[in-house]
Amino acid sequence: MDIKTNLNNFNKKTENTHCKLVAVSKTYPPEEILKAWNLGQRMFGENKVQEMTEKWEVLPKDIQWHMIGHLQRNKVKYIAPYVHLIHSVDSLRLLKEINKEAFRNERIIDCLLQIHIAAEETKFGLSEEEAFSILNSDEFQTMGNVRITGLMGMATNTTNQEKIRGEFQFLRALFEKIKSAFSGNSRINITELSMGMSSDYEIAIEEGSTMIRIGSAIFGKRDYA
């Protein structure tokens, strides 16, 4: 299958839902991204700062770049001028750094809190308690240049569909809980639920995802992660 067929399929699958498509272009060269751009795709996801920045430099400026991978504090400055949404905020210290660099660039940067929902130890993310503690902190209240717009999560890499569904349901429930707990707070506007990848997006959409992050099912198999 080519990029055009794959993108059309995803556009069809999401057209009657509230779900947006982030095309995960990590490891693919700018030419492949341009093919998708020519077909109308504007939201792209990357997991490495240097790779995303190199692509941002050479590709059309109307692309919305989504940082979906683990982000180190010392690299925030490279993406702060242009990043559209950071999906992977997993500490107050990281959020503080994003706020500092957003201020320098005279921007407000939208962020999602990454929640640990998978069984695997290796996946990054916050617990429910940690997420509440960030949002309730006095320090967060002083950060004028970041806005929390939702949650992101990655389900366990398993063929057990019910396990994946259970993890997405947990994330959806937390999303609703945080949304109602912080309604009326100008720095917290919970609208986005980023969940679902090539292997599990169908379940994610059924469970209320507003953003699926699709790589290999659009661009083809990657040689490395």
Q: Does 214 bind ligand PLP (CB under 6 A)?
A: yes
Binding mask 128-167 for ligand PLP (x = CB under 6 A): --------------------------x-------------
Contacts of 140 (CB under 8 A, 6+ apart): 92, 95, 134, 187
Q: Which 3 state secondary structure label does DSSP give 192? A: strand
Q: How many secondary structure helices (H) and strands (E) does the chain include?
A: 10, 8
Q: Which is nearer to ligand PLP, 143 or 217 (CB)?
A: 217
Q: Which is nearer to ligand PLP, 125 or 187 (CB)?
A: 125
Q: State the residue number with the nearest CB to ligand PLP.
A: 215
DSSP 8-state code for residue 148? E
Angle made by CA atoms 95, 63, 199, in degrees to the nearest 5: 75
| Residue in 3, 21, 69, 205 binding ligand PLP, rule: CB under 6 A | 69
Please report the sign of the dihedral spanned by the C-alpha atoms of residue 169, residue 174, residue 175, residue 179: positive
Burial of residue 225 (number of CB atoms within 10 Å: 0-12, 13-18, 19+): exposed
CB of 223 to ligand PLP, least distance (A): 12
Q: Which is nearer to ligand PLP, 66 or 187 (CB)?
A: 66
Q: How many residues bind ligand PLP (CB under 6 A)?
A: 14
Q: Does 6 bind ligand PLP (CB under 6 A)?
A: no
CA distances from 19 to 11, 15, 70, 150 (A): 10, 8, 23, 14
Within its chain, how far is the Cα of 107 from the centroid? 19
Binding mask 166-205 for ligand PLP (x = CB under 6 A): -------------------------------xxx------
Q: Does 47 bind ligand PLP (CB under 6 A)?
A: yes
Site residues (CB under 6 A) for ligand PLP? 24, 26, 47, 68-69, 154, 197-199, 213-217
